[in-house]
Amino acid sequence: MKKALIWIFAVIITLAASYYQRKTGPTYPLDFKTEINGETYAFDLTRSASHGDGCMVELPTSDGISDAKVVFKKYPGNFEFDTILMVETDNQWIASLPIQPAAGKLQYHILIFDENNLLFSTEEESAIVRFKGNVPAWALIPHILAMFLAMLLSTVALLMAIFNIGNIKRIAIWTFSSLAIGGFIFGPIVQYFAFGQAWTGFPVGYDLTDNKTLIAGVFWLAAMLLNLKQTRRWIIILAGIVLLGIFTIPHSARGSEYNYEADVIETGDK
């Protein structure tokens, strides 16, 4: 019964941490809400796009809207803004942003008009969309599943070590194995397809996602090795706390970024 409760709490904690990580990350869509003609008007702006699908900006139609525009520029750098007039089709206003190179970014905002006035603008909270290459499902799905499993097993091991329940040695091996598969095998494969570079963390770059994976791997490798011959609960607890803390860091923060002026992806080259 105690083990079952540990697994239940571990699932809840892992789901909550995963949701928080994605929700606070720089690739999660920006949500907006305003009022038009006395009715709530809501939409979101994407912040992640692929070469194959492009970046489609979509707004719901409304009787009070007569025109909508997307204003954008390359980011970062001192570039001029350009404007795209959105087209109304099938209950939506749509516009497609120009596709950028891998890790290239566009900063953009929306302007919504009625017949005479500007109704709403997102200029004060512009979205920044980053483009990436198409990642095949055979690489992306195992990466996501293995990383989620690693977080779940890490939380289980943490709770087992705190309450001194279960076989934490076995869970430590499973945790490190999942982390190695998700973070150090499929992770670089996913990143290579997305941005053309397999590893952009230490010692070649400053990618936060790669570096936090590396830190978690070091702690869980130590936890696994130090528990092979005798039980050392303290290192399991420490490794579990480290991985849990890492999962609260926004996903894809300080990731690869294309420098338009230098024509390079900077993060991996630092």
Q: DSSP letter string over 51-112?
A: TTTBEEEEEE--TT--EEEEEEEEESSS---EEEE-EEETTEEEEEEPP--TT-EEEEEEEE
What share of the chain in percent tops pLDDT 70?
Answer: 97
| CB contact at 8 A, 253 and 200 | no
Which of 53 and 235 is assigned the larger pLDDT? 235
Answer CATH for 37-132 from 3.30.565.10, 2.60.40.10, 3.40.50.300, 3.30.420.40: 2.60.40.10
C-beta neighbour count of 15 within 10 angstroms = 13
Closest CA to 95 of 43, 167, 32, 168: 43
Kindly report, residue by residue over 166-186, the tens digit of the pLDDT.
899 999 999 999 999 999 999
5: number of Cβ within 10 Å: 12
Q: Report the predicted TM-score, pTM, of the whole model to 2 decimal places.
A: 0.87
Q: What is the pLDDT of residue 253?
A: 67
Alpha helix (H) residue ranges in the chain: 2-23, 137-163, 168-179, 186-195, 208-226, 233-247, 266-269
Bridge partners of 130, per DSSP, are: 48, 105
The pairing of strands 127-132 and 105-113 is: antiparallel
The residues spanned by each domain of the chain are 2-25+135-269, 37-132
Q: How confident is the model at residue 205 (pLDDT cuts 50, 70, 90)?
A: confident
- Which among 148, 124, 103, 106 has a CA at the least distance from the CA of 258? 103
Output the pLDDT for position 269: 43
Distance CA 41, CA 1 (A): 48
The model's confidence at residue 15, banded by pLDDT at 50, 70 and 90, is: very high
Q: Give whole-number Cα distances, 40 to 35, 77, 89, in Å.
A: 5, 36, 21
SS3 for 255?
coil
Q: What's the length of the chain?
A: 270
83-87, 224-228, 265-269: least confident range: 265-269
At residue 252, the pLDDT reads 66
